[in-house]
Amino acid sequence: MYVTSVEDVQEFVLDDYYPGARFVKIKYLLHAGIGAKRMQYRLFTICVGGYTAKEKHEHEHEIFILRGKALVTGGKEEAVCDPEDVIFIPSNETHQIKNVGDESVQFLCTKETNEIPELLR
C-alpha cells in the first residue's frame, strides 16, 4: 500500500515543458514509479487565464472537476464545467481545458500508462 498527502507531492509548471499550455500546474499523485502499473492519477491546477495545450493521443481521460469553471473542448463540442462535473475524453479526440472563471480550476485526471511520468525521470 502507498499513502501520501497531496501537499507532499511535487508540483510542476507544465508551461515549461509543454508548448501550448499556459498557467498550468500538475501533481502526479499515483504513477508507475510508486507501483501503479496501469495508470497515472494526476491533479491539475489551471490558474486564471490559463489553458492546457490542445492535443490528441491514444490514451483516454476521465476527469473530475474539483473547483473553478472550465471550458472543456472535445472534438467539435464544448461544455462549460463546474465543480463535481465528470468528463470523459475518448482516445484520439482533440481536447483542451480552459479556465473561464475568476479562480483557479482544479481537476483530477487519469492517464492509462505503465510509464513513470517524464517529468519525474
Q: pLDDT for 53-71, tens place per residue?
A: 999 999 999 999 999 999 9
The three state secondary structure string of the chain is: CCCCCHHHCCEEEHHHCCCCCEEEEEEEEECHHHCCCCEEEEEEEEEEEEECCCECCCCCEEEEEEECCEEEEECCEEEEECCCCEEEECCCCCEEEEECCCCCEEEEEEEECCCCCHHHC
Q: State the average pLDDT for the chain.
A: 96
Residues 72-118: pLDDT tens digits?
999 999 999 999 999 999 999 999 999 999 999 999 999 999 999 98
The predicted model scores a pTM of 0.96
Mean pLDDT calculated for residue range 3-19 = 95
CATH fold of 6-120 reads Jelly Rolls (2.60.120)
